[in-house]
Amino acid sequence: MPIATVNPATGETERTFEPLGAKEIEECLARAAAAFEHFRTTPFSERAALLRRAADLLDEDTEDVARTITTEMGKPLAAARAEAGKCAKAMRWYAEHAEGLLADEHPDEGDVRDSGGARAFVRHRPLGVVLAVMPWNFPLWQVVRFAAPALMAGNVGLLKHASNVPQTALYLADLFRRAGYDEGCFQTLLVGSGAIEDILRDERVAAATLTGSEGAGRSVASIAGDEIKKTVLELGGSDPFVVLPSADVDAAARTAVTARVQNAGQSCIAAKRFIVHEDVYDAFLERFAAGMRELTVGDPTDEGTDVGPLSSEQGREDLEELVDDAVRGGATAVCGGRRPAGLDRGFYYEPTVLTGIITGMRIHREETFGPVATVYRVADLDEALAVANDTSFGLSSNVWTRDGAEQERCVRDLRAGGVFFNGMTASHPAFPFGGVKRSGYGRELSGHGIKEFCNITTVWHGA
C-alpha cells in the first residue's frame, strides 16, 4: 500500500510520501536509543510539564488537525474535533496521575522479615524504545493512548502509523517536538508494513504495541515472541449490545444508533450485534431502524453530516460482501444495504439493519467494519449470553437491564474485557481498556496500561 492521503469523500489522492530508506530508519533507531538513556532518568515533574505543553498545543491546533483527520480517513469534522479534545484530556490525566500510579510499592513488613530482609519495595522502571503500530480509524487517539502513559513512564516511542494517514502521523511527531521533547523521544516512521519486522527485531527496540487487525496482530506477536519481547495487542471486536425486558427501550434504541455508527461504524468497540429479548424485540427494532434511517450520510466537512464515508474502497467492498452474503442466505435488510443514491464519488454506504441472521452466515462470525447492524431475537438471558459469547472476539459488551441479578450474571458470564450497563462502550484514561480471545491481550489506559511497558523491579535489602 502506498503511503498517501487519499480523500475517502472523493476518492482522490491528495498527497504521496516516499517511505524511509534503511539509512533513515537506522538514524531514527539510534536517536531513539540515545534519547531513552537521558529521558529515563528525568523526574516525573519534567515529564508532566512536557506532556501538559503537548496538550495545550493540541488544543490550539484542534481545527487544523481535525481537518487533516477528516481529509485522510473521512471522520466528520465534529467527531475529529472531539477526538483531539479527548487526546488532550488523556495527556493531562497522565501528567497528573502517572507519578502516583508508578509509586514504589511496599510489601507487608511481616513478609519482608520472613524473606530475611530488612526492607524491600517494588519499583516500576521504563523498558526502553517501544514500537507502536497503529491504525487509521482513530488516528490521534490510538496513538496518544499509547504515547501518554509510555512517555510518562520514561519510555520513548517509534510510531509506524497506517499508510493512509501520513499527515496525521507526521503531525504527532511534530507536536511532541514542539512541546519540548528531544527529537528521539517520539518519532514517526513513514514506512510500509514490510519494514516492521526488521525494526521490531532490532535489539534497541524493547517492546511493541499494536492496534489493528487480527492478521497484523498475529504477525507482530510472532516476531516479538521469537525475539522474546513484550507486546500489547488490541485487535478486532464484534461487541454485543444486549437489551432485556427491564431496559428503557427508547434510550437503548437511541444509544444503539450512536453505538453502531460512531466513526461510520469503523470502530473495534462499536456495538455490532444487537441481541434483544423477545418481549421488547419489536419495539426496539422499530425505534432502532427508524433512528438509522434518519441519519444524514454525506460530506464529512459538512457540519450536518452524521455518517461520513468509509476509509477506502476496499473497506466498502468488504462490507458489501458480508451484507450480500447474509441477504443471499435469507437475512432481511430492514433498512439500508446499499450505496446511497447521489453520492457517486467517495466510499459511502448506507446505515443498515439486518435481521434473520443465522450461524452459517459470514456476518455472524466476521467483524463488520462499517455502519451495518445485525439484530437477533432471543427468548431469555441464557440465550442472550450464548449468542453474545458466540464469537471469536471479546473486546467489550453492552447490556441494558435494570435488574441487579441480571447485571451480576452478565459480569460473571460475558467473555469480554468490559461490560457496560445502560450505556455504550467508551474509553476513558482512568479505566483499563483491552480484550480477551482474538481481541488481543494486555491493557491500555489507567494504571494497568502505564505498567505494561515497565520493568517491575523487586528491590531487597538484607538485614
- Tell me which residues are annotated as active site: 234, 268
Alpha-carbon gap, residue 450 to 55, rounded angstroms: 18
Burial readout 346-368 (b: 16 or more C-beta within 10 A, e: otherwise)? bbbbbbbbbbbbeeebebbebbb
Rounded distance between C-alpha atoms, residue 370 and residue 410, angstroms = 27
Spatial CA neighbour of 33 closest among 152, 101, 128: 128
Helix, strand or coil, per DSSP, at residue 92: helix
Neighbours of 85 (CB within 10 A): 16
Give the 3-state secondary structure of residue 222: helix
List, as own/partner pairs, every contact residues 314-319 make where C-beta atoms lie below 8 angstroms and the sequence separation is at least 24, other chains included: 315/266, 315/347, 315/369, 315/370, 316/347, 316/348, 316/349, 316/370, 318/369, 319/349, 319/368, 319/369, 319/370, 319/372
Beta bridge partners of 121: 459
Is the separation of the CB atoms in 249 and 280 below 8 Å?
A: yes
Residue 77: what are its φ and ψ, rounded to 5°? -55, -40
- 436's enclosing H/E stretch is strand 436-437
Q: Which three cell numbers stand for residue 410?
A: 452478565
Closest CA to 148 of 455, 416, 444: 444
Number of DSSP helices (H) and strands (E) in the chain, helices first: 15, 19
Which backbone phi and psi does 354 adopt, to 5 degrees? -115, 135
Place of cell 516500576: 124
